[in-house]
Chains A and B, each alone.
Chain A
Amino acid sequence: MSSSALTGSQAQRAATVLVPRRRSWLPERTQSFLLLLPSFVAIAIFVYVFIAMTLYVSISNWRTLKMDLSLGQPPYATYLSMFAQPRFQADLRNTLVFTILFMGLAVLIGLALAILLDRNLRGRAVFRNIFLFPYALSFVVTGVAWRWIFNPETGINLFFNILGINPLLSQFGLEPLKPGWTTDPTVWLQVNKVLAAVWPPAAGLRVQLGIPAAIIPVAIAAVWQLSGFVMAMYTGGMATISDEVRQAARIDGATEGEIYRHIIIPMLKPVTISIVVLLLHTSLKIFDLVFTMAGPGPGFATDVPAIFVFEQTFRATRYNLGSAAAIFMLVLSGLVIVPYLRHSLKEG
């Protein structure tokens, strides 16, 4: 590093003596453009052309191994049948429930850990390192480990015996506690009737709207993996807030709790926005974790759009249906990402 800095200052000194000369016929800006061209072309093909192709397949009649690129009648026919499918409706419900659970818990836990460790505490670095560690792992590793922890025959359920809860229940002649976790098809708090009363078209829904019990363990595993990331983001944000801010508040008589509630957390709003957008984006396209931990689940209780795309496209060879779901995912994450990119690029 230091040697190249030296080269720079030498060059600067030399500049006053030497006459500038060009090494190439082409102006530098043109060279720069030409050097970027291969990357740009690759992205143009792999991102934009491919998306256009998927979009086209989604409005075509291609739904078997035999390629059929004729346009559907009407072109959006596949989308209509997709939204009418109980499985896809379940996916939308699951994505909504998963997103709320996962994001809510990850942000709260991450923020709490960042605040608890935002002081001189023995072993602070060790705590931070351990809390962030799952972020370095593959979703597949997480899925495999948590799949066993939430296996009804072992894992968490053993604690109901170890802690004496089940022996106690059996003494009273009650059934032992043995949740099925990811294998449980129950949907809690069904709101179909309520919704249909308020909004009649909802009566046509072919899925039980509510909280699928099986999605909760998956959300917990996702929180385990990503709450450390939230903590690290907040820790990074807190490091940029100068101590003078806190000192001034303390002099004014604010308690530590008030300092966080009224000063630090509001100042961290840009970090919070980044975290929410990134977690939302992760949640909308989540695949590996759900696929390895639970799969589509009983009655599609843990199915998500990404698994739907995978199975329709690469297992069932219903290419137009898989593509339509993929385009739907793109639109959904575009709604989150485009305003965010616009905002942060404007600032940068």
Chain B
Amino acid sequence: MTVEPASAAIKPAARISVVQGFTWLVLLLALGFYLMPVFVMVNNGLKEATNVSVSTMWNLPGQLTGGGFAEAARKLWPNMQNSVLMVVPATILSSLIGALNGYLLSKWKFRGADILFIVMLFGFFIPYQTILLPMVRFLQIIKLYGTLPGLVLVHVVYGLPITTLMFRNYFAGVPTELVEAACVDGAGIMTTFTRIMLPLSIPAFVVVAIFQFTNIWNDFLFGVIVVPNPSAQPITIALNNLSGNFSVDWNVVMAGALIAALPTALIYFLLGRFFIRGLLAGSVKG
């Protein structure tokens, strides 16, 4: 190959278009990789049980009907409800308590407050396998084992470290004079929180709530450990059971996967900006 004259011969404009062509090629290949599983789910979820076959996974569905969606929705509907009943209270509670904690830890530091915070934050990073067995015993003792309220409790407690961190970082950027002024004016700690700081933190609240909603909706481990009864389980566990059940056609499984993904996917596409802020706030510590 004669590389030398070739590179000399290519004009700057041509070289730019080579770079651009390469960029587009790589991006389109990547697009194929990222969309392929979504295509598999949509394509096969839309097929009828009669024409879904492993040998034709990549073929398009012949006619457009409901495919496996109706049956998947019927099978997963109770678990969808369980997920909603779990995720809504768990998200609101863990965000609210996290907001209070973050406010106290940034604006009303007592001696040892920073150490207390680090001690709490560590809870976010433990592999939950380390606490499962005692947690089950504890939930059995307080009679919440196998129930959705038990699951909510677990999600709230293990969500606190990260919600506290996110709000503490947010409130650290809010001028302390605001708190001092309110107090001089006669407002107590809690009044300042509910009247001034909480309304002020709405943008952060949205970010934290989306972060928590996504995490809790997508959880599998706590659900499968805390709730053994299939009819009381959240949707992620039901989806896994569906997928492992050989009497269920896999067009139904694919449709079910899409249904289980729908709420977080909607949040992602509708509120993407907050989603990314949560991702960055939840991962860049300190």
Which A residues are within 8 Å of any B CB, using their own CB?
1, 3-5, 7-12, 14-15, 18, 20-21, 23-24, 28-33, 35-36, 39-40, 42-43, 45-47, 49-51, 53-54, 57, 109, 112-113, 116-117, 121, 127, 129-149, 151, 153-155, 158-159, 162, 224, 228-229, 232-233, 236, 274, 278, 281, 284-285, 287-288, 291-292, 305-306, 309-310, 313-314, 319, 322-323, 325-327, 329-330, 333, 337, 340-341, 344-345, 347-348
Contact = CB atoms under 8 A, between A and B. Distances in A.
B35 A130 contact: yes
Nearest to B225: A314
Given A32-B110, A39-B160, A148-B57, A46 B123 contact: yes
Contacts of B264: 136-138
Contact of A28 (B41, B189, B268): B189
B182 A224 contact: no
B131 interface: yes
Closest 6 CB pairs of A and B: A348-B286, A32-B108, A138-B218, A154-B54, A11-B181, A136-B268
A47 B126 contact: yes
Interface residues of B, number: 103
Interface in B189-240: 189-190, 195-196, 199-200, 202, 214, 217-221, 225, 236-237, 239-240
Interface stretch (B2-10, B24-32, B61-69): B24-32
Contacts of A149: 36-37, 40
A137 B265 contact: yes
Nearest to B259: A141
Of A137, A274, A325, which is in contact with the most chain B CB atoms at under 10 Å from its CB? A137
A47 B110 CA distance: 23
Interface string B46-70: 0000000011011000000000000
A145 B37 contact: yes
Nearest to B250: A148
A24 to B, nearest CB: 6
A43 B120 contact: yes
B220 A57 contact: no
B173 interface: no
Nearest to A14: B185
Contacts of A23: 186-188
B184 to A, nearest CB: 4
27 contacts: A5-B178, A7-B195, A15-B181, A28-B108, A28-B188, A29-B109, A33-B113, A43-B160, A45-B138, A51-B131, A109-B30, A113-B30, A116-B23, A130-B34, A137-B261, A138-B217, A140-B260, A144-B253, A145-B38, A158-B55, A274-B285, A322-B133, A329-B127, A341-B121, A341-B122, A341-B125, A347-B286
Q: Provide the main secondary structure of the chain B interface.
A: helix
Given A138-B217, A274-B283, 17 more contacts: A4-B200, A11-B182, A30-B110, A32-B108, A43-B120, A45-B138, A50-B131, A50-B138, A112-B26, A113-B30, A116-B26, A145-B38, A148-B250, A155-B57, A232-B276, A284-B127, A326-B129
Contacts of B120: 39-40, 43
Contacts of A12: 177, 181
B108 A53 contact: no
Given A42-B157, A144-B239, A54 B134 contact: yes
A232 B276 CA distance: 8
B139 to A, nearest CB: 11
A46 B135 contact: yes
A147 to B, nearest CB: 7
Given A46-B157, A53-B133, A130-B35, A341 B118 contact: yes
Interface string B70-94: 0000000000000000000000000
B123 A35 contact: no
B54 to A, nearest CB: 4
Given A49-B134, A132-B276, A149-B40, A137 B218 contact: yes
Contacts of B144: none
A322 B225 CA distance: 14
Given A4-B199, A154-B54, A15 B34 contact: no
A8 to B, nearest CB: 4
Contacts of B225: 314
A9 B260 CA distance: 48
A233 B236 CA distance: 27
A49 B137 CA distance: 13
Given A46-B135, A154-B54, A8 B160 contact: no
B265 A306 contact: no
